[in-house]
Amino acid sequence: MSENQTQPSTATAPPDTLAQPDQHDEQGLTIQTDFEHKEDVSEAIGETVFEASKVSVSYSGAPAVRDITLRVPKGEITALIGPSGCGKSTMLRTFNRMNDLIPGCEVEGSITYHGEDIYADDIDPAEVRRRIGMVFQKPNPFALSIYDNVVFGPRLHGMKKDMDDRVEQALRGAALWDEVKDKLNEPGQDLSGGQQQRLCIARAIALEPDVILMDEPCSALDPIATLAIEDLMRELRGDYSIVIVTHNMQQAARVSDRTAFFTVDMEKGVRVGELVEYDLTEKMFTASSDPRTESYITGRFG
């Protein structure tokens, strides 16, 4: 793990290496499923953005997840589901080294991003986070104007050119431009909850990331705002690879291409998260291969 404890940042498209930052120009449950948005999703995973091999994470020596192996495909939405405490968010944070910021956290195993080990000694964690953006559970716009929220990341990384265009493109990408284009200098925190979350997504994509990680991005939103975020995820799919943690089974069924189901195992009296099943979402929700998956999806436990 790196000792470089730098502020998390959003991401940009992947160049050849992560080692040196680029220089820039200035209960019982019926699941309603809808798989029509998936286009030519094959069984086999083609190009991947992440490959995790035998990943285990512990906090101050206490295991959180163990022996997680999975491949995250490029240009798709991958959902991580499972009961509370099974390590979904812990696993999500390993993909952009956010766990580095938690004292006592240790990550074992291998995680590669486009084939490059992101935990290698010469990798800059800030550069990893610059390319792998993250949207959190609760909308967290800065106490700045809408405009300054969007340009915060680019300014942090020395970008100076075409800021107005970058702001417009990011806000359009987050389906927010038409709602805020006449009040860009107003506080971002004055927006509604759903608009704030879309602003956070715009802030994440302002650096043109390759991947967007979303940790329960709709859990604090009302149903209408939730559907707006889900529509946005489907629009972003393909241009970005998205990994989402969600407790909402309907949401996983609606938006994701593939789903990974985690559960909790008791190892010597200690709760440890483990991966049970990982497959196409349609298959997981209609013909899962493990009875624990079916029990969770149908609300028999969790």
Q: Which DSSP string corresponds to 136-163? A: -SS----SSBHHHHHHHHHHHTT--TTH
Identify which has the larger pLDDT, 11 or 210: 210
Number of H helices, E strands in the chain: 10, 10
Instruction: Give pLDDT tens digits for 70-127.
Output: 999 999 999 999 999 999 999 999 999 999 999 999 999 999 999 999 999 999 998 8
What is the per-residue pLDDT for 300?
81
What is the per-residue pLDDT for 26?
37
Cα separation of 287 and 1, whole Å? 39
Identify which has the larger pLDDT, 276 or 130: 276
pLDDT classification of 43: cutoffs 50, 70, 90: low
Backbone dihedral region for residue 195 (phi beyond 0: left; psi -120 to 50: alpha; all else: beta): alpha
Cα separation of 208 and 195, whole Å? 20
What is the per-residue pLDDT for 17?
60
CA 241 to chain centre: 9
* Helix runs in 145-287, H state only: 146-156, 163-173, 177-180, 193-205, 223-236, 249-255, 281-287
Cα separation of 196 and 188, whole Å? 7
What is the per-residue pLDDT for 103?
95
Tell me the β-bridge partners of 113. 50, 116
Task: Check pLDDT > 90 for residue 14.
Answer: no
User: Percentage of the chain with pLDDT > 90?
Assistant: 76
* Cα separations in angstroms, 238 against 162, 190, 254: 25, 31, 16
Cα separation of 109 and 48, whole Å? 18
Cα separation of 90 and 137, whole Å? 13
Identify which has the larger pLDDT, 31 or 269: 269
Task: Check pLDDT > 90 for residue 179.
Answer: yes
Task: Check pLDDT > 80 for residue 186.
Answer: yes
Task: Classify each residue of 243-265 as buried b or exposed e, where b means 16 or more C-beta atoms within 10 Å of its C-beta.
Answer: bbbbebbbbbbbbbbbbbbbbbe
What is the per-residue pLDDT for 126?
87
205, amino acid identity: I
What is the per-residue pLDDT for 302?
60
Cα separation of 288 and 281, whole Å? 9
pLDDT classification of 299: cutoffs 50, 70, 90: confident
102, amino acid identity: I
What is the per-residue pLDDT for 205?
93
Task: Check pLDDT > 90 for residue 157.
Answer: no
Identify which has the larger pLDDT, 269 or 55: 55
Note whether 91 and 6 are within 8 A (CB): no
Instruction: Give pLDDT tens digits for 197-239.
Output: 999 999 999 988 999 999 999 998 999 999 999 999 999 999 9
Note whether 57 and 107 are within 8 A (CB): yes
- Mean per-residue pLDDT of the chain: 87
Q: Which of 37-46, 73-82, 246-255 has the lowest mean pLDDT?
A: 37-46
Cα separation of 167 and 148, whole Å? 9
What is the per-residue pLDDT for 248?
92
Task: Check pLDDT > 70 for residue 184.
Answer: yes
